[in-house]
Amino acid sequence: MKATAARRPRLTSLRARLLISTAVVLLAFVGLGGLALEKAFERSLLQAQQDKLEGLIYALLGAASTTPDGDLTIALDAIPDRRLREPMSGLQAALFNELGIMVWSSSQSLDMPPPPSINVGQWSFQRLASPNAFRLSFGLRWIDSERNQPRLYTVSVIDDTRSFDRQLVIFRRTLWIWLGGTVIALVAILLLILRWSLAPLKRLGRELHRVESGLQLEIEGSYPDELKPLTRDLNAMIVSEHSHQTRYRNALGDLAHSLKTPLAVLRGISSEPQIPAAQQSQLDEQVSRMQHIVDHQLRRAAAAGSRTLTEPILLKPLIDKLTSALTKVYASRGVGFYNRLDPELRLRADQGDLYELFGNLLDNAAKYGDEHIRISAHTEKNLLHIDVDDDGPGFPDEPEKLLERGARADTRKPGQGIGLAAVNEIVQAYGGRLELARSPLGGARVGVIMPTR
Instruction: Specify the higher pLDDT residue, 385 or 23.
Output: 385
Q: What is the pLDDT of residues 271-323, one digit of tens each?
A: 777 777 777 777 777 777 677 666 655 655 555 454 555 667 889 999 999 99
Nearest-angstrom CA–CA distance, 181 and 150: 62
The answer to whether residue 446 scores a pLDDT higher than 60 is yes
Which of 155, 157, 160, 159 shows the shortest CA–CA distance to 103? Answer: 155
- Rounded to an integer, the average pLDDT of 439-446 is 90
- Rounded to an integer, the average pLDDT of 249-268 is 69
Which of 299, 307, 249, 301 shows the shortest CA–CA distance to 431? Answer: 307
- Rounded to an integer, the average pLDDT of 121-148 is 84
Out of 51-60, 167-176, 424-433, 442-451, least confident range: 424-433
Out of 103-107, 180-184, 415-419, 443-447, least confident range: 415-419
The answer to whether residue 51 scores a pLDDT higher than 90 is yes
Main-chain phi, psi angles of 133, to 5 degrees: -155, 165
Q: pLDDT-derived band of residue 39, with 50, 70 and 90 as boundaries?
A: very high
**What's residue 298's pLDDT?**
61
Q: pLDDT-derived band of residue 412, with 50, 70 and 90 as boundaries?
A: very low
- Does this model's pTM top 0.75? My answer is no
**What's residue 2's pLDDT?**
43
Percent of the chain scored above 70 by pLDDT? Answer: 81
- The two most distant CA atoms of the chain are separated, in Å, by 163
**What's residue 329's pLDDT?**
84
- Rounded to an integer, the average pLDDT of 34-63 is 92
Q: What is the pLDDT of residues 148-182, one digit of tens each?
A: 678 889 999 999 888 899 999 999 999 999 999 99
Nearest-angstrom CA–CA distance, 424 and 431: 11
Out of 85-99, 244-258, 297-311, least confident range: 297-311
Q: pLDDT-derived band of residue 355, with 50, 70 and 90 as boundaries?
A: confident
**What's residue 270's pLDDT?**
67
**What's residue 6's pLDDT?**
45
**What's residue 21's pLDDT?**
87
**What's residue 173's pLDDT?**
94
DSSP-assigned beta bridge partners for residue 94: 105, 156
Nearest-angstrom CA–CA distance, 307 and 440: 34
Out of 20-29, 78-87, 378-387, 434-443, least confident range: 78-87
CA angle 136, 139, 143 (to 5 degrees): 140
Provide the mean pLDDT of the chain: 81
Percent of the chain scored above 90 by pLDDT? Answer: 21
Q: pLDDT-derived band of residue 138, with 50, 70 and 90 as boundaries?
A: very high
HEC profile for 352-393?
HHHHHHHHHHHHHHHHHCCCEEEEEEEEECCEEEEEEEECCC
Which of 313, 384, 325 shows the shortest CA–CA distance to 351? Answer: 313
Q: pLDDT-derived band of residue 32, with 50, 70 and 90 as boundaries?
A: very high
Instruction: Specify the higher pLDDT residue, 160 or 411.
Output: 160
The answer to whether residue 416 scores a pLDDT higher than 60 is no
Instruction: Specify the higher pLDDT residue, 329 or 283.
Output: 329
Instruction: Specify the higher pLDDT residue, 56 or 413.
Output: 56
The answer to whether residue 413 scores a pLDDT higher than 60 is no
- Spell out a b/e string for 66-77, using b for 16 or more CB atoms within 10 Å of the CB, else e: beeeeebebebe
**What's residue 227's pLDDT?**
81
Contact 396, 409 (CB under 8 A): yes
Q: What secondary structure letter does DSSP report for 78?
A: G
Contact 378, 437 (CB under 8 A): no
Domains and their CATH numbers in the chain: 11-213 (no CATH), 228-301 (no CATH), 313-451 (3.30.565.10)
- Rounded to an integer, the average pLDDT of 104-118 is 81
- Rounded to an integer, the average pLDDT of 429-437 is 86
Q: What is the pLDDT of residues 190-208, one digit of tens each?
A: 889 888 888 888 888 888 8
Out of 68-82, 110-124, 127-141, least confident range: 68-82
Q: pLDDT-derived band of residue 146, with 50, 70 and 90 as boundaries?
A: low
